[in-house]
Amino acid sequence: MKMQYRKFSDGFDISALGCGTMRLPCLANGEVDYDAAMGMIRYAVDKGINYFDCAWFYHGEHSERCLGKALKGGYREKVRIADKLPIWECKTSDDVRRVFDIQMSRLDVDHIDYYLIHSLDPNNWANAQRVDALNEMEKLKQEGLIGNIGFSFHAEHALFREIIDSYNWAMCMIQYNIIDIDFQAGNKGLKYAHSKGIPVVIMEPLKGSALVNPPPLIREAYPQSELGMSYADIALKFLANHKEIACVLSGMSNKSHVDANMAAVASTPIGSLSPKLKEIIKGMQDIYGRISNIPCTKCKYCLPCPQNVAIDTVFEIYNSAYGFGSYGNHRGEYRNTLTSKGQDVSRCNKCGKCAKHCPQGIDIIAKLHEAHSVLG
């Protein structure tokens, strides 16, 4: 299956499937497996993927380093790199260049094709304006160090429109999937950006792994054996079908993910979904709307916790219990997986550090203690 390409900024034909580096293959100790990750990235390039996304703190500040190493040996010339300014690290305008220089050093490149202000919400947008981030990024662009300027977004639709209208953006990145139709920027934001001629890259297309392994009500209503495709395929095809979407960004962890995701996206030209598949997706959306609880995508922005609470795992167990409508086995899993290791919610001192960077806007402390009251 050959990759599809779509028009993007500055005349670039972007692959309809992009590769994110937030979920790279890891060793048993949780550190990035550089050999496996570099092999997967090069495999993706060889398969036709030409857009790679990284960020300052992914994988404990190793995603940029790993991507840079993987793109040596002629691979850099075949792709575009997107990296993100962690605006919360910037206290003054001088910090924009300081942070950028560190990222360039980690990537070991002479320019970054797409440089985004990371995770814009009311606080981060206010800080970006306070430190005059766009002006500093323009200077970097004039020096040939940045090719294009964009932003990633995690807030409400009204702010999205304000940001879209504030600058001549080259692209933007939003969270969107079959569940998150009206969440954050949502479908209205997707269409608004498209109407302004701003290309949109989609993050969290599988909502972490939630759409890969759906809850029992979805599996019962739509058995995979009768679908003729995986649940992940359905989620990716839903996105690839949109004319407003330039690229679906997937955080892949091995070569089989590359093959499977590419097959789903590459086989779905814009506007090609059958009426039957549209009906299935609508039915799934109705069910998800009735059983959703905590919108955690396991992005790990909330970690590390100073008290060693495994926040993402707490939410994973709680969401699974919620979806099954049964808590007995999940209480055992909670005790065996977390309590026995000193990683359960009883250690939480409500410091609030976890909530500051949650892109989903989850009231993490309240939800942690809600989960603990049920599972603990």
DSSP readout, 52-86?
A: EE--TTTTTTTHHHHHHHHTTTTTGGG-EEEEEE-
Rounded to an integer, what distance in angstroms lies between the CA atom of residue 52 and that of residue 44?
A: 10
Bridge partner list, 161: none
Measured in whole angstroms, how far is the alpha carbon of residue 205 from the centre of its chain? 7
pLDDT of residue 165: 98
pLDDT of residue 112: 98
pLDDT of residue 137: 98
5-291 CATH pick, 3.30.1330.40, 3.20.20.100, 3.40.50.300, 3.40.640.10: 3.20.20.100
Asked if 33 and 27 touch (Cβ cutoff 8 Å), the reply is yes
Kindly report the pTM of this predicted structure. 0.84
**How large is the greatest C-alpha to C-alpha distance in the chain, in angstroms?**
60
Q: Cβ contacts of residue 72 below 8 Å, gap of 6+?
A: 108
Q: What does the DSSP 8-state code read for residue 113?
A: E
pLDDT of residue 147: 98
How far apart, in Å, do the first and last CA atoms of the chain sit? 48
Angle between helices 94-107 and 133-142 (to 10 degrees): 50
Measured in whole angstroms, how far is the alpha carbon of residue 163 from the centre of its chain? 20
Dihedral sign, Cα of residue 113, residue 118, residue 124, residue 125: positive
Q: What is the pLDDT along the chain (376 residues), one digit of tens a residue?
A: 789 999 999 899 999 999 999 999 999 998 999 999 999 999 999 999 999 999 999 998 999 999 999 999 999 999 999 999 999 999 999 999 999 999 999 999 999 999 999 999 999 999 999 999 999 999 999 999 999 999 999 988 999 999 999 999 999 999 999 988 988 999 999 999 999 999 999 999 998 777 888 888 899 999 998 999 999 999 999 999 999 999 999 999 999 999 999 999 999 999 999 999 999 999 999 988 777 678 888 788 898 899 999 998 888 788 777 765 666 667 877 887 788 788 999 999 999 889 887 988 889 998 888 888 878 8
How far CA 252 is from CA of 17, 214, 217, 276, 333, in Å, comes to 11, 18, 26, 28, 26
* Count of alpha carbons within 13 angstroms of residue 113, beta-carbon side: 19
Three-state DSSP class for residue 203: strand
Rounded to an integer, what distance in angstroms lies between the CA atom of residue 151 and that of residue 164?
A: 9
* Count of alpha carbons within 13 angstroms of residue 64, beta-carbon side: 22
State the span(s) of the chain assigned CATH 3.20.20.100. Answer: 5-291
| Nearest in space to 242 (alpha carbons), one of 187, 180, 297, 175 | 187
Rounded to an integer, what distance in angstroms lies between the CA atom of residue 175 and that of residue 182?
A: 10
